[in-house]
């Protein structure tokens, strides 16, 4: 687990690079709370992670193990209120968006692509789930 200040720094650097590629992404504010206990399941290839949460968004920093190899299933399970969420997965090294999906929560189950590099998840609520 990473400390909140370290997560803010890592996240800010990664998001700066991502924005430099023309990808619009919100930054967590200094008021974002560290809430790693929301994560129920993390893929086995993740060595360390950190979660920052605000009212409308969650950012998760994921670092792979040094000798990591892709394993299945490669999903993350997060405790979030019921609703529909949009999840962007961004590669912190190449500054590219590598996947986007929407999923319903309670809890949220989302795919986590393996790149061999640190990745950033940006999760935001887009509906109550009653639209389905």
Please report the domains of the chain, with CATH numbers, ordered by start residue: 4-127 (2.60.40)
pTM over 0.95: no
Alpha-carbon distance values, 49 to 24, 65, 103, 120 (Å): 23, 11, 21, 10
Indicate whether 128 pLDDT > 90: no
- Which stretch of DSSP H or E encloses residue 6? helix 4-20
Rounded CA separation 7/5 (Å) = 5
Provide the pLDDT confidence category of residue 129 given band limits of 50, 70 and 90.
low
Burial letters for 49-72: b for 16+ Cβ neighbours within 10 Å, e otherwise?
A: bbbbbeeebbbbbbbbeeebeeee
pLDDT tens figures, 7-16: 888 888 899 9
pLDDT tens figures, 10-65: 888 899 999 999 989 999 988 899 999 999 999 989 999 999 999 889 999 999 99
Query: What does the chain come to in residues?
Result: 132
């Amino acid at each position: 687990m990473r400390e909140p200040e370290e997560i803010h720094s890592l996240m800010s650097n990664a998001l700066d690079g991502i924005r430099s590629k023309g990808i619009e992404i919100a930054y967590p504010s200094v008021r974002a709370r560290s809430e790693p206990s929301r994560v129920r399941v993390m893929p086995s290839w993740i060595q360390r992670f950190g979660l920052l949460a605000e009212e409308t968004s969650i950012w998760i920093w994921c670092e792979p193990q040094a000798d990591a190899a892709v394993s299945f299933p490669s999903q993350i399970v997060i405790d979030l209120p019921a609703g529909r969420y949009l999840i962007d997965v961004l590669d912190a090294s190449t500054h590219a968006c590598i996947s986007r999906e929407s999923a319903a929560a309670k809890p949220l189950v989302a795919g986590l692509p393996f790149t061999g590099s640190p990745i950033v998840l940006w999760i935001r609520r887009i509906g109550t789930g009653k639209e389905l």
